[in-house]
Amino acid sequence: MKKIAIVSIIDDDAFFQYATKKMLELSNKVEHILQFNDGEEAIRYFIENKDEPDKIPDLVFLDLNMPYMDGWQFLDKFIVNEFKKDRITIYICTSSISKLDLEKSANYPLLKGYLIKPITKAEFFEKLEKELENDSLLD
Protein backbone atom coordinates (compact mmCIF):
# COMPACT_ATOMS: atom_id res chain seq x y z
CA MET A 1 0.00 0.00 0.00
CA LYS A 2 1.29 3.43 -0.95
CA LYS A 3 2.16 5.96 1.75
CA ILE A 4 2.93 9.69 1.90
CA ALA A 5 6.65 10.06 2.53
CA ILE A 6 6.71 13.07 4.87
CA VAL A 7 3.85 14.97 6.50
CA SER A 8 4.68 18.09 8.49
CA ILE A 9 2.65 19.70 11.27
CA ILE A 10 3.50 23.37 11.98
CA ASP A 11 1.61 24.48 15.11
CA ASP A 12 2.37 25.95 18.50
CA ASP A 13 -0.54 24.15 20.12
CA ALA A 14 0.85 21.09 21.89
CA PHE A 15 -2.45 19.27 21.86
CA PHE A 16 -2.98 19.84 18.15
CA GLN A 17 0.43 18.35 17.50
CA TYR A 18 -0.34 15.37 19.74
CA ALA A 19 -3.76 14.72 18.33
CA THR A 20 -2.77 15.17 14.69
CA LYS A 21 0.22 12.93 15.07
CA LYS A 22 -2.01 10.27 16.62
CA MET A 23 -4.43 10.44 13.75
CA LEU A 24 -1.72 10.35 11.09
CA GLU A 25 -0.21 7.30 12.74
CA LEU A 26 -3.60 5.70 12.96
CA SER A 27 -4.25 6.26 9.26
CA ASN A 28 -1.24 4.13 8.37
CA LYS A 29 -0.75 6.23 5.27
CA VAL A 30 2.21 8.32 6.39
CA GLU A 31 5.86 7.28 6.52
CA HIS A 32 7.27 10.21 8.52
CA ILE A 33 5.78 12.98 10.63
CA LEU A 34 7.80 16.18 10.96
CA GLN A 35 6.69 18.49 13.80
CA PHE A 36 7.46 22.23 14.20
CA ASN A 37 6.20 24.48 17.01
CA ASP A 38 6.76 27.70 15.08
CA GLY A 39 6.87 29.00 11.52
CA GLU A 40 10.44 30.09 11.87
CA GLU A 41 11.67 26.60 12.86
CA ALA A 42 9.80 25.14 9.94
CA ILE A 43 11.00 27.56 7.28
CA ARG A 44 14.56 27.17 8.50
CA TYR A 45 14.28 23.40 7.99
CA PHE A 46 12.70 23.85 4.55
CA ILE A 47 15.41 26.24 3.36
CA GLU A 48 18.19 24.09 4.77
CA ASN A 49 16.91 21.08 2.83
CA LYS A 50 15.57 22.76 -0.27
CA ASP A 51 17.87 20.78 -2.58
CA GLU A 52 17.02 17.41 -0.99
CA PRO A 53 13.61 16.24 -2.15
CA ASP A 54 13.65 13.27 0.20
CA LYS A 55 13.76 15.51 3.23
CA ILE A 56 11.16 18.07 2.19
CA PRO A 57 7.62 17.26 3.36
CA ASP A 58 5.02 16.26 0.79
CA LEU A 59 2.09 17.46 2.85
CA VAL A 60 2.04 20.36 5.33
CA PHE A 61 -0.59 21.27 7.95
CA LEU A 62 0.14 24.94 8.77
CA ASP A 63 -1.28 26.82 11.74
CA LEU A 64 -1.83 30.53 11.26
CA ASN A 65 -1.53 31.99 14.72
CA MET A 66 1.87 31.32 16.20
CA PRO A 67 3.67 33.60 18.65
CA TYR A 68 7.03 34.18 16.91
CA MET A 69 6.55 33.56 13.19
CA ASP A 70 2.98 32.97 12.15
CA GLY A 71 1.61 31.00 9.23
CA TRP A 72 1.44 34.01 6.93
CA GLN A 73 5.04 34.89 7.50
CA PHE A 74 5.97 31.28 6.87
CA LEU A 75 4.11 31.39 3.56
CA ASP A 76 5.76 34.69 2.59
CA LYS A 77 9.17 33.14 3.07
CA PHE A 78 8.14 29.86 1.50
CA ILE A 79 7.01 31.36 -1.82
CA VAL A 80 10.21 33.28 -2.39
CA ASN A 81 12.28 30.08 -2.17
CA GLU A 82 12.67 27.35 -4.73
CA PHE A 83 12.51 23.79 -3.54
CA LYS A 84 13.64 20.78 -5.47
CA LYS A 85 10.31 19.14 -5.16
CA ASP A 86 7.57 18.90 -7.75
CA ARG A 87 4.73 19.25 -5.34
CA ILE A 88 4.39 20.43 -1.75
CA THR A 89 0.78 20.40 -0.59
CA ILE A 90 -0.04 22.92 2.14
CA TYR A 91 -3.26 23.08 4.19
CA ILE A 92 -4.03 25.89 6.57
CA CYS A 93 -5.19 24.58 9.92
CA THR A 94 -6.54 27.33 12.09
CA SER A 95 -8.98 27.91 14.85
CA SER A 96 -9.80 31.26 13.27
CA ILE A 97 -13.26 31.56 11.91
CA SER A 98 -12.48 35.14 10.89
CA LYS A 99 -13.48 36.08 7.37
CA LEU A 100 -10.38 38.26 7.15
CA ASP A 101 -8.11 35.26 7.49
CA LEU A 102 -10.08 33.28 4.93
CA GLU A 103 -9.94 36.18 2.49
CA LYS A 104 -6.25 36.60 3.06
CA SER A 105 -5.60 32.94 2.28
CA ALA A 106 -6.99 33.54 -1.20
CA ASN A 107 -3.85 35.61 -1.85
CA TYR A 108 -1.77 32.43 -1.66
CA PRO A 109 -2.74 30.25 -4.63
CA LEU A 110 -0.39 27.51 -3.56
CA LEU A 111 -2.65 26.69 -0.63
CA LYS A 112 -4.57 23.50 -1.14
CA GLY A 113 -7.19 24.14 1.48
CA TYR A 114 -8.30 26.00 4.59
CA LEU A 115 -9.23 23.75 7.54
CA ILE A 116 -10.90 25.14 10.62
CA LYS A 117 -10.11 23.59 13.98
CA PRO A 118 -11.28 21.40 15.54
CA ILE A 119 -10.51 19.14 12.60
CA THR A 120 -12.11 15.71 12.66
CA LYS A 121 -10.39 12.42 11.97
CA ALA A 122 -12.51 11.98 8.86
CA GLU A 123 -11.33 15.32 7.47
CA PHE A 124 -7.70 14.41 7.96
CA PHE A 125 -8.17 11.02 6.33
CA GLU A 126 -9.88 12.63 3.37
CA LYS A 127 -6.95 15.00 2.83
CA LEU A 128 -4.50 12.12 3.06
CA GLU A 129 -6.50 10.17 0.47
CA LYS A 130 -6.61 13.12 -1.83
CA GLU A 131 -2.89 13.58 -1.51
CA LEU A 132 -2.27 9.95 -2.39
CA GLU A 133 -4.63 10.19 -5.37
CA ASN A 134 -2.85 13.23 -6.76
CA ASP A 135 0.42 11.52 -6.16
CA SER A 136 -0.61 8.48 -8.20
CA LEU A 137 -1.98 10.72 -10.95
CA LEU A 138 1.42 12.19 -11.31
CA ASP A 139 2.99 8.77 -11.51
Partner 1 sequence: MKHKNGLTAIGYLITLLGILVVIGWVFNILILKAVFPGFATMKINTAICFIALGVTFNLILTGKSRSIYLILAGFAFLVCLLSFLQDILNANFGIDELLIADNGNFLKDSLHPGRMAPTTALCSFLIALSLFILNNKRWNIFGQYILHFVSLITFIAIVGYFFSVPTLYKLVYLPSMAVHTAIALFIFSIAISMVNPYLGITGLFTGDRIGNQMVRRLFPKMIIALFVLAFFGIEAHRYQVIGEEFGIVLLALSFSFVGLILIWDTATLLNKIDHKREDAENEIRLNNENLEKIVIERTADLKKSIETQEKLNNQLLEKIELVEQQDQTIEKIREFKFLADSIPQIIWTTKADGTVDYYNQYWFTYSGLTWQETTDQGWIAVMHPDDLEKYLVAWTKSFTTGTSFESEYRLKRGSDGVYKWHLGRAQPMKNEDGQIIKWFGSNIDIDEYKKAIELQKRIAQFEDFNRIVAHNLRGPAGSIQMILAMMSESESDTEKAELFVMLNQSSATLNETLNDLMKVLEVRTNNTLPYDNCDLTEIVAGVEAMLTGQIISKSAKIYTAFEAPSIKFPKIYLESIFYNMISNSLKYSKSDVPPEIRITSRFANDKVILTFSDNGLGIDLIMHGNSMFKLNKIFHRGFDSKGVGLFMTKTQIETFGGNISVESKPNIGTTFTIEL
Query: Interface with partner 1 includes 67 (CB under 8 A)?
Result: yes
Nearer to partner 1, 19 or 34 (CB): 19
Helices 39-48 & 71-79 angle (0-180, nearest 10): 20
- Determine which residue in the list 19, 33, 111, 132 makes contact with partner 1, applying CB under 8 A: 19
Helix (H, G, I), strand (E, B) or coil at 108: coil
Q: Is 13 in the site for partner 1 (CB under 8 A)?
A: yes
Q: Does 35 interact with partner 1 (rule: CB under 8 A)?
A: no
Output the CA–CA distances (angstroms, integers) from residue 35 to 8, 16, 39, 48, in the order listed: 6, 11, 11, 16
**Binding-site ranges for partner 1 (CB under 8 A):** 13-16, 18-19, 22, 38, 40, 64-65, 67-70, 73, 94-98, 100-101, 117-119
